[in-house]
Amino acid sequence: MFRGKQTRVLLLNDMERLECTLFRLEQGFELQFHLGPTLQGKSVHVHTNYPAPGKKFVSSSFRQLEWVNPSGREDDSDKYCKLDLEIAGSYQYYFGHEERTGGGFIVVDPVLRIGHERKILPLDCITVQTYLAKCLGPLDEWLDRLRVAKETGYNMIHFTPLQKLGASRSCYSIADQLELNPDFSPPGKNNTWMDVGNLTEKIKKEWNMLCITDVVFNHTAANSKWIRHHPECGYNLVNSPYLKPAWLLDRALWHFSCAIILRGLLWTEVFSQLKLWEFLQVNVEKAVEQFRKVLQAGECLLLEGKPKLKVIQDSQYRRLSNTVDMQLALEMFGRHTNGPKSIQECCDWFKKSLEELNVECYKEMHSHHEKAINCIVGTVCYERLAAHGPQLGPVTRTNPLVTRYFTFPFEDMTMEQENQLIQNPNDACHLLAHNGWVMGDDPLRNFAEPGSNVYLRRELVCWGDSVKLHYGVKPEDCPYLWAHMKKYTEITAKHFSGVRLDNCHSTPLHVAEAMLAAARVVRPNLYVIVELFTGSEQLDNLFVNRLGITSLVREAMSAGDSHEEGRLVYHFGGEPVGSFVQPNLRPLVPSIAHAMFLDVTHDNECPIQVRSVFDALPSTAIVSMACCASGSTRGYDELVPHQISEGSCYTEDWSNYWNPDALPSSVGEVNLQTGIMSGKLALNKLHQELAEKGFTQVYVDQLDADTVAVTRHCPTFKNPETHQYREHLDPMYIPGKIEEVILEARTVERNAESYVKDERFINGMLNFMVEIQNLFCGYSGYLSDMSEFVEEILFEKLTPGSVIAFRVSLDPNSQKVVGYLRTQLSQFNRLYKSGSLTDSNVPGILKIALDFLMSKLTLAELNVLLFRCDVEEEEDGGGCYNIPSWMPLKYGGLQGFVSVLSEIRPKNDLGHPFCDNLRQGDWMIDYVSSRLMNKGGALREVGKWFSAVFTYLEHIPRYLVPCYFDAIIVGAYATAVDAVFNQMSSFVQNGSTLVKQLALGSVQMCGVGRVPTLPPLSPELEDVPVRLNSVTKQEEQCCVSLAAGLPHFSTGIFRCWGRDTFIALRGLMLLTGRYLEARNIILAFAGTMHHGLIPNLLGQGVAARYDCCDAVWWWLQCIQDYCNIVPNSTDILMCPVSRMYPTDDSEAQPLWTVHDQPLYVVIQEAMQCHMQGIEFRERNAGPQIDHNMRDEGFNVEAKVNPETGFVYGGKRFNCGTWMDKMGESDKANNRGVPATPRDGSAVEIAGLSKSAVRWLMTMNENGNFPYSSVTIHRDGTEQSVSYKEWNQRIQENFERFFYVSEDPSDPNEQHPDLVHKKCIYKDSYGASSPWCDYQLRPNFTIAMVVAPELFTVQRAWKALEIVEKKLLGPLGMKTLDPDDLVYCGVYDNALDNDNYNYAKGFNYHQGPEWLWPVGYFLRAKLYFAKKMGQEKYNESVYLVKNVLSRLYTHLERSPWKGLPELTNENGQYCPFSCETQAWSIATVLETLYDL
């Protein structure tokens, strides 16, 4: 099957340390590091110790990765650095700007190979069997014994250590790590590691099996010869003197072992005699005398504060040899030393303090004693009295009271002599601490290091046959030990394909890291398994990351019942059945550690003893169905009814030979008639086949309390002799056709002798066996209500200990349909070529490639295909698809479905209501196709394609519908998006991912509704789109209009707003290449000009409202932008404009009445009207057009100050700019009062008018505009003002009247008492409430962009710095200085109370953070940064990219795939905001264009 290159993307976020997060990858994968929002724009460096090509891995050697930027422009959304992963192991990465600020690990799995052909053995194929190596006998006989594993279907053998063992003969107590166990050599022969290697190689090549073995780094046998020569390799009383008290206690307990065990005796005969507290105490008399001498020598310093005297521990841990800080003592107790009497007083004071310290030390040691006694008594009770314990019996020298914690390689002696022994370093160095484990201890803490009291408190569950090894922190600390263990590791790696790291959780991590690194030098694809008991998945991950662990051992025996064991199967591997097809390029998501799931480990109790003999087969069947490595321990399959201990009790037992002809009663021989071996062979084969063939999906179903289905049935662990099982099971239903019954097996009792343990061989229970293919179920197929083929399985004799395995495939018809469907999907992804079939009756529409059909769609039609919110759909009589148990989708188009699928696909959340809806019926797929088929034209053809391809979907099993629906929708969506970009500008086509996603906002916002939104254009104009009106059957214009925001401003008269349209038009239409549609919108609004203004609310022209002063200036700015961007752009000035209002007094003209004027005439009219002065009352003024506005508010005024050239207007009762909130609350008494009237000269209008005047002056000079001036009539005379003169007046007066100087005596400052922020630009000039002029708002940044020549560079930069500090939020700009008394950053339009400033959202523009101004701020910052020099520019680029990254993150996560109108303070979600707003998207796109 074609798989393609697999790429994973890891997003880096500042301060994100992921050392405990596991990322697993395979060799051949590409890993890309991308910058997260917190890092974009910064100069980030990524370092890794993954070696460069051709170099060797050195864990401490890090290299810096190079960045790749595919688009090479705009922003950091596509920027990445990468690793091509070809080497197994654990690798670290870290990143930062100036210092390390985050990092983590990646683990690359090894590739295991078997056979002469070096066939890959996938990790999930592994079936391992553990052998206790010491039970195998001479090496020459191993093949006969190991053949048992081969013949029962295992492909990996795990050996316990093969080294020479210690005196205890425990498998993990190794006497010499470099010497092969001499037991493996028969008399007269000396086998070597080379012989072992030859054996493992033979097994790998000829049997297709791998061999692994244990490595033990944490301890060595107590009788190891080498540690007698190198005692520094253990924790002894010379290199670890802090263990002296614990050693003395250990020896005292040894001497006490012959006494009667009573808690009281321990106190009186052991602890009180030892006086161990003296190791913590100070010799009071000696210290006081020293203190006296220091006092007499001179004066002391006074100490500030309240110091506390502390004991300084003697480094050699001698009794009463601790000290205190004499300087500190002087400062505390030596303040008055005028004579002998005062010196004695100080000494007495000091002595009392020392005695108090000693009491504290006594109490500390007493608490250790109490814990020790509890542990001792608990151990004795368990070992000698408890029914579940070993019941050791009487206390003897062989079995002392408690296990000794330290070695004692000397003849017996008295306690007094032993006390002298520790004074001699040559003897004390041989008193070595034993190893063990501490229940509930921190696995990252070394319990033998200083600061731990484990040995003293007797908390160690001690292995009295092993010495804990003392590595230190680096090889130089103990050279012999590091070299010895490295050689041991290299020998192991040379001859074995993998290692099991024993006692991993107690092995120092840095040691295991170094040793495994050495092993990987010898064998790069080393398989590493460990058994961890941390109790924490995060801690497990830390070990996996640091050590590069391949698999963690997981135990089926840890499950208490069948339900829990089924849960483990689901948890440790596999995906849900019907999972989504994941793309080859996708985010790197955290993993759980790969599992080696064992039905029993060699450490577990015998399942037959704990559960039942009938549990063996079902449990191993459940384990075999897990999508991970699986395995067992030799003896389980033979039904050995006791634990094959690794201790000394079974040292003479040898494993049985394989003999296919052996009789069941044969001793020392086994075959498929033995125990459950025949069942295990079938299950192992099945486990391997499922993994090899890509069966990665698992479904676990608890049929009833005693039956689990994992494509077969299995009883629970209850003993059938005592538990009442149901005699009759309900039928089981399987979707699809049963091809064959792979396995029908049950555990049965046969006539044979009861179990008797053999003294020489490890023998199993002969009176139980597995019966194969004894049919006890029947099945038949039928079609369900949803045309789905289902098999009904009827159970007849399902007895405890039974297993059934079915091979299920789709029924023949479904197989064909899926093949046909995959053929269609292969046009989107080559992955679907596999399994595709040719449909001889394929519908004609499916013979046409979908990309061809979509290439015929206009961008307006693509708006229908991809988007349209619920109210837009309702306008056409429909609505967005609604999932009854959940919610409606955000869009009727494909984006509505893709937004949900992109959330549930990575998680395979098949339980989501969306997936449930797809499985339950065809409603969703019918909606997608019928919605488009109802549209007509090219959309209908696309709808036909969906209808035809969905026909296939209706005839496959319902559990597959979500997966294939996702594939169809995602493929179609990607095709549609490509069709969008093919019709857009090179800026978009060559742009970054962020640019492209924002450009989709153009399609999102620009569409054609059922009723035309724009007034008609001149019939003389060319290239105007038309359609047939479905009601009148007449042709009508159908120009694209631009919605202000979704969902609130998307339909009817509230769709189009003059100000919103022309703030957004440059970004959404001109920069994206939609020139013709932009032209039509410009001309349509031009046709509605009235009193020299264009409408605020368009209302299709006939219901327009002319209550704003700024819309006409934004319109003029867009005409200027059009002429600067579009080829042959000045032709627009000659385009005919059909005037809806030929005169200021005329009514709206009928559609068939034509009053055409060239656009340049309309532009000149707007300029002349403003210079002349605009004053009128809105038509139909009153509550019928605005029920909130007061009567005075309907009077509109806009003029030009002849002295300054500034446009001014508005009144305190109307809102002339974008900050247009009108009070609505009667409770708060703010109805009819504008929250932000901004009358006078608004700063952005000053900038926009300057831009327009300058442009017209230049256009006239270039011969592209016929007017050089405006002519007005004033005082009965005609006056002319040239554009050049007007331009000059604004230029000369702007900073004079708008800049707020830091100089309080500035003669231009008319209201110095109102200044509360200096070095900024006023928000307005000449407001009716003068304090409003001085409010800090983001509006002057707009003027900086459209008319930068008005600003002095240094002043502008300082003002921008203040804006950045005070107004810039996570996503948008605060609309008011947070230091302002009326600032409120939370907008709640539903709140109606008596608070004047907040009620009914009165603070709409008094703090909430709007997104569209952030684009102008960033553009202004970039412009003036260039003027300030390269350093400032680089800093500004970082700021811009950082803000863009936050916007990109929101865009990615938003199901609306847009940027909101506003947020509440600090970027918090505002439920009253439009979810996606045209001007928010547009101004960010403009910023990217400037970059």
pLDDT tens profile 769-787: 777 765 455 555 555 555 5
| Longest CA–CA separation in the chain, Å | 134
Each residue's pLDDT tens digit, 949-968 = 999 998 888 888 999 999 99
HEC per residue, 1257-1325: HHHHHCCCCCCCEEEEEECCEEEEEEHHHHHHHHHHHHHHHHEECCCCCCCCCCCHHHCCCCCEECCEE
Q: How confident is the model at residue 2 (pLDDT cuts 50, 70, 90)?
A: very low
SS3 state at 686: helix
Q: How confident is the model at residue 1308 (pLDDT cuts 50, 70, 90)?
A: confident
Which pLDDT value is given to residue 718? 34
8 Å CB contact between 1333 and 1322: yes
The full DSSP string for 76-92 is STT-EEEEE--S-EEEE
Over 50: is that where the pLDDT of 1045 sits?
yes
Distance CA 488, CA 322 (A): 42
The number of beta carbons lying within 10 Å of the beta carbon of residue 1490 is 16
pLDDT mean over 1267-1280? 93
Which pLDDT value is given to residue 47? 97
Which pLDDT value is given to residue 767? 64
Structure-model confidence comparison of residues 1392 and 814, the more confident one: 1392
Pick left, alpha or beta for residue 153 (phi over 0 → left; psi -120 to 50 → alpha; otherwise beta).
left
Beta-carbon contacts of residue 100 (< 8 Å; ≥ 6 apart) = 94
Each residue's pLDDT tens digit, 63-113 = 999 999 887 766 888 899 999 999 999 999 999 988 899 999 999 999 999
976 vs 963, 979, 983, 1219, CA distance in Å?
Answer: 20, 5, 11, 37
Query: What's the mean pLDDT when you consider all of the chain?
Result: 89
The number of beta carbons lying within 10 Å of the beta carbon of residue 411 is 6
Distance CA 964, CA 580 (A): 8
- Cα-Cα-Cα-Cα dihedral of 908, 913, 915, 921, to 10°? 170
Each residue's pLDDT tens digit, 1416-1435 = 999 999 999 999 999 999 99
Each residue's pLDDT tens digit, 838-874 = 999 999 999 999 999 999 999 999 999 999 999 999 9
Which pLDDT value is given to residue 306? 62
Structure-model confidence comparison of residues 645 and 677, the more confident one: 677
- Terminal alpha carbon distance of the chain: 44
8 Å CB contact between 1490 and 1419: yes
Which pLDDT value is given to residue 1371? 97
In this structure, of 266-270, 286-290, 922-926, 1276-1280, the range with the lowest mean pLDDT score is 266-270
Element (H, E) at 657: strand 657-658
Reference 62, options 105, 35, 93; nearest CA is 93
Reference 1174, options 1197, 1201, 1191; nearest CA is 1197
The full DSSP string for 394-442 is S--SSS-SS--SB---S----HHHHHHHTT-HHHHTT-BBEEEEETT--
- CA 227 from chain centre, in angstroms, equals 48
Beta-carbon contacts of residue 1429 (< 8 Å; ≥ 6 apart) = none
In this structure, of 299-313, 421-435, 517-531, 1226-1240, the range with the lowest mean pLDDT score is 299-313
Sequence length of the chain is 1491
Distance CA 1094, CA 1087 (A): 9
Which pLDDT value is given to residue 650? 28
Dihedral (CA of 423, 429, 431, 435) sign: positive
Which pLDDT value is given to residue 251? 84
Which pLDDT value is given to residue 739? 76
The angle formed by the CA atoms of residues 393, 397 and 400, to the nearest 5 degrees, is: 55
Q: How confident is the model at residue 1151 (pLDDT cuts 50, 70, 90)?
A: low
1166 vs 111, 416, 660, 1217, CA distance in Å?
Answer: 75, 112, 104, 17
754 vs 639, 751, 764, CA distance in Å?
Answer: 12, 9, 10
Output the six-digit token pair for 563.
């339900």
Residue 1176, burial from CB neighbour count under 10 angstroms (0-12, 13-18, 19+): middle
Structure-model confidence comparison of residues 1014 and 504, the more confident one: 1014
Element (H, E) at 770: strand 768-772
% of the chain with per-residue pLDDT over 90 = 62
DSSP E strands, 1160-1253: 1174-1177, 1195-1200, 1207-1209, 1241-1242
Output the six-digit token pair for 1393.
């109370």
Distance CA 1086, CA 1062 (A): 12
Residue 451, burial from CB neighbour count under 10 angstroms (0-12, 13-18, 19+): exposed
- Cα-Cα-Cα-Cα dihedral of 17, 22, 28, 33, to 10°? -20
Which pLDDT value is given to residue 668? 78
**Residues labelled as active-site residues:** 502, 505, 603
Over 60: is that where the pLDDT of 714 sits?
no
Residue 297, burial from CB neighbour count under 10 angstroms (0-12, 13-18, 19+): exposed
Reference 289, options 334, 344, 332; nearest CA is 344
Distance CA 88, CA 299 (A): 67
pLDDT mean over 314-335? 84
Distance CA 515, CA 218 (A): 12
In this structure, of 202-216, 362-376, 705-719, 1388-1402, the range with the lowest mean pLDDT score is 705-719
Q: Encode burial over 1061-1070: b for 16+ CB neighbours within 10 A, e otherwise.
A: bbbbbbbbbb
Each residue's pLDDT tens digit, 1421-1480 = 999 999 999 999 999 999 999 999 999 999 999 999 999 999 999 999 999 999 999 999
8 Å CB contact between 1193 and 1173: no
Which pLDDT value is given to residue 673? 85
Which pLDDT value is given to residue 344? 84
Which pLDDT value is given to residue 802? 74
Output the six-digit token pair for 113.
């190979």
Over 50: is that where the pLDDT of 653 sits?
no
pLDDT mean over 541-548? 94
Each residue's pLDDT tens digit, 577-636 = 778 888 899 999 999 899 999 988 877 777 777 777 888 888 888 888 888 999 999 988
Which pLDDT value is given to residue 883? 96
Distance CA 927, CA 472 (A): 69
Which pLDDT value is given to residue 309? 83
Sheet holding 802-809, edge to edge: 768-772, 737-749, 802-809
Q: What is the DSSP letter of 950?
A: H
Q: How confident is the model at residue 1042 (pLDDT cuts 50, 70, 90)?
A: very high
- CA 858 from chain centre, in angstroms, equals 38
Which pLDDT value is given to residue 72? 72
